[in-house]
Amino acid sequence: MATWLRRTRAVAHYLRRSSGRPSTSRVVLDRQGAPLPAVPPLGSVGIGGAAGRISPAPFPVFSAKRLESTRAEKHLVSVHEAEDDDTVEDDDDDDDAQVLDFPGGKVAFTSRMQFIAESAEERVPCYRVLDDYGQQIENDCSAQVNEELAVKMYTDMVTLQIMDAVFFEAQRQGRISFYLTSMGEEAINIASAAALTDDDVVMPQYREQGVLLWRGFTLQEFANQCFGNKVDYGKGRQMPIHYGSNKHNYFTVSSPIATQIPQAVGAAHSLKMDKRSACVAAYFGDGSTSEGDFHAGLNFAAVMEAPVIFICRNNGWAISTHTREQFRSDGIVVRGQAYGIRSIRVDGNDALAVYSAVREAREMAIKDQMPILVEALTYRVGHHSTSDDSTKYRPMDEIEYWKMSRNPVNRFRKWVESNTWWDDKKEVELRNNIRKQVLQAIQTAETYEKPPLSDLFRDVYDTLPSNLHEQESQLRETIKRHPKDYPLDVPV
Ligand SMILES: Cc1ncc(C[n+]2csc(CCOP(=O)(O)OP(=O)(O)O)c2C)c(N)n1
């Protein structure tokens, strides 16, 4: 067998040489899609070779640039070619040195039957910069977070906390129909947003209101959306918390989970075609990774080499489904490599770690035109939404532990304070001030009228089609017949 394989290879190698083709027929394209100089055949460069003179490939260009994730293939190429050059000693019994020239890359043979283990010996470690007490572990932290940035990050984390708490109460008082907090995930929200630029497109799931806050969406705009009043950009046609803003490059939240993932890849591919110096940040939870869209999206991104950062908030729970019931892999991070995507696991409750990981991810996504996966480990401290009571399916002490001991806002505050950029006086002033602003925003939002009934049927088609005309008339008839069943504050 070994002899037959070697002979076959020798014939193929002879044919390649006599046709003048290099033994590596793959052509590499640069980032602009132009072919890079062909890799010369071994032995053609150097003393007496064609050093510095690389002739263009005499055959069509088929394949594109390869990612680092396929570097194993390159390794095998060198083994194979070294053999072709007869620099490797012959050994009839050495099947291990032989390779299968398979579409997509050469694969080494082995005579050892070995299944790949279902999990690695050790879990992928979690990158962090701050210890549990908010002290910086490494002094040479790659993230250059100066006073101005640190204070803005901290104040936005506090604003997010207060907005969530007050809006949650507003729902309990019956003033809005629904709300969903990001409690416990303030660091992922704000620090990842801080690491992006406004040109980067955000495709949110629904627990990323802090990203929009960071970009300048005002408390009033948040309140208008939740109250569905006539100045809400969605004209009251979405449930509360389905924010969106063209101005802030933030796609509207859509409830079916994971749909944003393949969409993000498409958007990233379009940024690539337009040669824009920007990427897409797609946010999602651990539960979303059980959707087919997650897998389709990651594979699509890897193959298209799309500049997208997948930011997975692994918060332990998908409503009442624990991650143990969701997957058996070592979280999400290991799946990146399976799809050929560079990936990192980061402490999602460490604002500095999230900031530096996402900043680096952005740099690589844009410079190297490739997708990156960031798995941020965190915990959903709040209920899933106002429609949920999480104490029914998880222990109170688990919630308390994450709320108190692993609180990302307190931890970041300790670091900001240790730099003498923050103190108790500023803290009290900030919290009072933000609370007043949120309450004011709610009061103002309540004073606006609701959007008119006709808005329900507009904005999808240029001219209203007959079936929507019919539905509108039917609705008006029904309201006339049952006036008590419809809200009085919607202008008919
Ligand atoms: C396609 C689809 N299936 C199911 C649901 C119901 N659902 C809403 S949120 C949610 C849990 C999502 O969990 P995760 O992605 O971990 O995000 P988290 O809420 O923890 O932030 C589910 C199953 C949905 N909205 N869309």
**pLDDT tens-digit readout, 327-340:** 999 999 999 999 99
pLDDT value at position 144? 83
pLDDT value at position 15? 31
357 falls within a domain:
yes
Question: Is the domain of 438 the same as that of 465?
Answer: no
Residue 458, classified by CB atoms within 10 Å of its CB into exposed (0-12), middle (13-18) or buried (19+), is: middle
Question: Is the domain of 152 the same as that of 281?
Answer: yes
Final residue in a domain of this structure, among 55, 79, 108:
108
**DSSP letters of 151-206?**
HHHHHHHHHHHHHHHHHHHHHHTTSSS-----TT-HHHHHHHHHHS-TTSEEE--S
pLDDT value at position 86? 45
Note whether 206 and 241 are within 8 A (CB).
Answer: yes
pLDDT value at position 73? 53
Question: Is the domain of 86 the same as that of 8?
Answer: yes
Rounded to whole angstroms, the Cα distance separating 408 from 405 reads: 9
114 falls within a domain:
no
CA of 236 to the centre of ligand 1 (A): 22
Note whether 354 and 409 are within 8 A (CB).
Answer: no
46 falls within a domain:
yes
Asked if 169 is an active-site residue, the reply is yes
Give me the residue label for tokens 């500023």.
426
Catalytic one among 185, 242, 384, 390?
384
What crossing angle do the helices spanning 186-195 and 408-418 adopt, rounded to 10°?
A: 60
Rounded to whole angstroms, the Cα distance separating 385 from 253 reads: 15
- Please choose, from the candidates 436, 442, 430, the residue with its C-alpha nearest in 3D space to the C-alpha of residue 152: 430
Helix (H) or strand (E) holding 380: none
Note whether 182 and 189 are within 8 A (CB).
Answer: yes
Helix (H) or strand (E) holding 281: strand 280-285
Question: Is the domain of 165 the same as that of 101?
Answer: no
Question: Is the domain of 401 the same as that of 477?
Answer: no
CATH number of the domain bearing residue 175: 3.40.50.970
Question: Is the domain of 93 the same as that of 158?
Answer: no
Give me the residue label for tokens 């906390």.
161
Question: Is the domain of 481 the same as that of 372?
Answer: no
Question: Is the domain of 328 the same as that of 247?
Answer: yes
125 falls within a domain:
no
Asked if 68 is an active-site residue, the reply is no
Number of domains making up the chain = 3
Note whether 98 and 79 are within 8 A (CB).
Answer: no
323 falls within a domain:
yes
Note whether 330 and 393 are within 8 A (CB).
Answer: no
Buried (b) or exposed (e) across 473-490, using 16+ Cβ within 10 A? eeeeeeeeeeeeeeeeeb
Catalytic one among 23, 192, 288, 385?
385
pLDDT value at position 154? 98
Note whether 282 and 296 are within 8 A (CB).
Answer: no
Q: Which amino acid is at 201?
A: V
Angle at 222 between CA 216 and CA 226, to 5 degrees: 165
Rounded to whole angstroms, the Cα distance separating 25 from 312 reads: 38
Q: Going by DSSP bridges, is the β-strand pair 317-318/321-322 parallel, antiparallel, or unpaired?
A: antiparallel
Which atom of ligand 1 sits closest to the CA of residue 259?
1
- Parent domain of 471: 455-485
Asked if 387 is an active-site residue, the reply is no
* Three-state secondary structure readout of 176-187: CCCCCCCCCCHH
Question: Is the domain of 398 the same as that of 272?
Answer: yes
In 3-state terms the chain splits into helix, strand, coil percentages (rounded to 5) of 45, 10, 45
Non-local CB neighbours of 336 within 8 Å, separated by 6+ positions = 298, 310, 342, 343, 373
Angle at 267 between CA 263 and CA 270, to 5 degrees: 140
Residue of 312, 317, 319, 322 to mutate, ligand 1, most atoms within 8 A of C-beta: 319
**DSSP letters of 244-269?**
-BTTTTBPPP-SSTTTHHHHHHHHHH
CA of 287 to the centre of ligand 1 (A): 6
User: Phi, psi at residue 311, to the nearest 5°?
Assistant: -110, 105
Helix (H) or strand (E) holding 327: none
Rounded to whole angstroms, the Cα distance separating 224 from 478 reads: 28
Question: Is the domain of 417 the same as that of 387?
Answer: yes
CA of 257 to the centre of ligand 1 (A): 5
Rounded to whole angstroms, the Cα distance separating 175 from 167 reads: 9
133 falls within a domain:
no
Catalytic one among 68, 138, 169, 400?
169
197 falls within a domain:
yes
- Please choose, from the candidates 427, 447, 386, the residue with its C-alpha nearest in 3D space to the C-alpha of residue 220: 447
Which atom of ligand 1 sits closest to the CA of residue 180?
19
Rounded to whole angstroms, the Cα distance separating 463 from 457 reads: 11
Q: Going by DSSP bridges, is the β-strand pair 105-108/99-102 parallel, antiparallel, or unpaired?
A: antiparallel
Per-residue pLDDT of the chain (492 residues; tens, 9 = 90+): 343 334 434 333 433 343 333 333 333 344 344 444 443 333 233 322 333 333 333 333 334 455 555 555 555 444 434 344 444 444 444 555 689 999 989 999 999 999 999 999 999 999 999 999 999 997 655 558 999 999 999 999 999 999 999 999 999 999 999 999 999 999 999 999 999 999 999 999 999 999 999 999 999 999 999 999 999 999 999 999 999 999 999 999 999 999 999 999 999 999 999 999 999 999 999 999 999 999 999 999 999 999 999 999 999 999 999 999 999 999 999 999 999 999 999 999 999 999 999 999 999 999 999 999 999 999 999 999 999 999 999 999 999 999 999 999 999 999 999 999 999 999 999 999 999 999 999 999 999 999 999 999 999 999 999 999 999 999 999 999 999 999 888 999
Residue % of the chain over a pLDDT of 70: 79
Q: What is the pLDDT of residues 124-179, one digit of tens each?
A: 999 999 999 999 997 655 558 999 999 999 999 999 999 999 999 999 999 999 99
CA of 262 to the centre of ligand 1 (A): 16
Q: Return the beta strands (E) in 16-59 as ranges.
A: none
138 falls within a domain:
no
Q: Which residues line ligand 1 (CB under 6 A)?
A: 207, 255-257, 284-288, 313, 315, 317-319, 380, 384
Give me the residue label for tokens 């006539």.
230
Please measure the distance between the N-terminal and C-terminal CA atoms of the chain and give it in whole angstroms. 83
Q: How far is CA 43 from the centre of its chain?
A: 45
Question: Is the domain of 474 the same as that of 366?
Answer: no
Question: Is the domain of 18 the same as that of 79?
Answer: yes
